């Protein structure tokens, strides 16, 4: 079993419920246990600014799935939630990003681990800090050290 970290985001439909449903699906993945989930955060859009705010979260999994099998499972959850990949950084019903898998550094056509841009994004590190503040991201630093370097304006915890 290996620890894996997933970022969750949504800004279409009922974003809060989309994330709660996705967390339930993560907990039911084969050979996988949901160990922790972060608080939910409302965050401003990133990239394409003319869209609704996002609800974001993070999850810690203990899994026997390979990184590519886990990625396939995440993509299947997105599809079941109605995700259509129309534009990069645009609005979405559900976005699940595999951020980090302990002991794995990978770069191929389908997947890069750790996620190459996560240290640049408060909407990723803020919820990740809830569940793994001491997580050291290879080549980037520790979550607790990286988060204060980011602009967190407009980010707020939601019930």
pLDDT digits (tens, 9 = 90+) for 118-155: 999 999 999 999 999 999 998 889 999 999 999 999 99
Active site includes 95? yes
Judge whether 92 counts as a catalytic residue: yes
> What pLDDT is stored for residue 46 in this prediction?
82
The domains of the chain are located at 2-158
Helix (H), strand (E) at residue 126:
helix 122-131
The confidence band for 86, taking pLDDT boundaries of 50, 70 and 90, is: low
Q: Which of 16, 21, 62, 97 is catalytic?
A: 97
Supply the pTM of this predicted model: 0.95
Number of Cα atoms under 13 Å in the Cβ half of residue 57:
22
> pLDDT tens-digit profile of 72-83?
999 999 999 988
Identify the active-site residue in 42, 83, 121, 130: 83
85 as an active site residue: the answer is no
pLDDT for the residue numbered 87:
66
Q: Which top CATH class is 2-158?
A: alpha beta
Among 140, 103, 78, residue whose Cα is nearest residue 128: 140
Q: What is the pLDDT, as a whole number, of residue 77?
A: 97
């Amino acid at each position: 079993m290996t620890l894996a970290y997933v970022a969750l985001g949504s800004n279409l439909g009922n974003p809060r419920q989309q994330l709660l449903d996705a967390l339930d699906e993560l907990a039911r993945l084969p050979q996988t246990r949901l160990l922790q989930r972060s608080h939910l955060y409302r965050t401003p859009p990133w990239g394409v600014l003319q869209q609704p705010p996002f609800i974001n979260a993070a999850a810690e999994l203990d899994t026997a799935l390979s990184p590519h099998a886990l990625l396939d499972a995440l993509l299947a959850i997105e599809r079941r939630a109605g995700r259509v990949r129309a534009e990069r950084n645009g609005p979405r019903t559900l976005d699940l990003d595999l951020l980090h898998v302990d002991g794995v550094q990978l770069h191929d056509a389908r997947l890069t681990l750790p996620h190459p841009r996560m240290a640049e994004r408060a909407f990723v590190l803020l919820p990740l800090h809830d569940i793994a503040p001491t997580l050291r991201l290879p080549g980037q630093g520790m979550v607790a050290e990286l988060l204060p370097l980011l602009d967190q304006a407009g980010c707020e915890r939601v019930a």
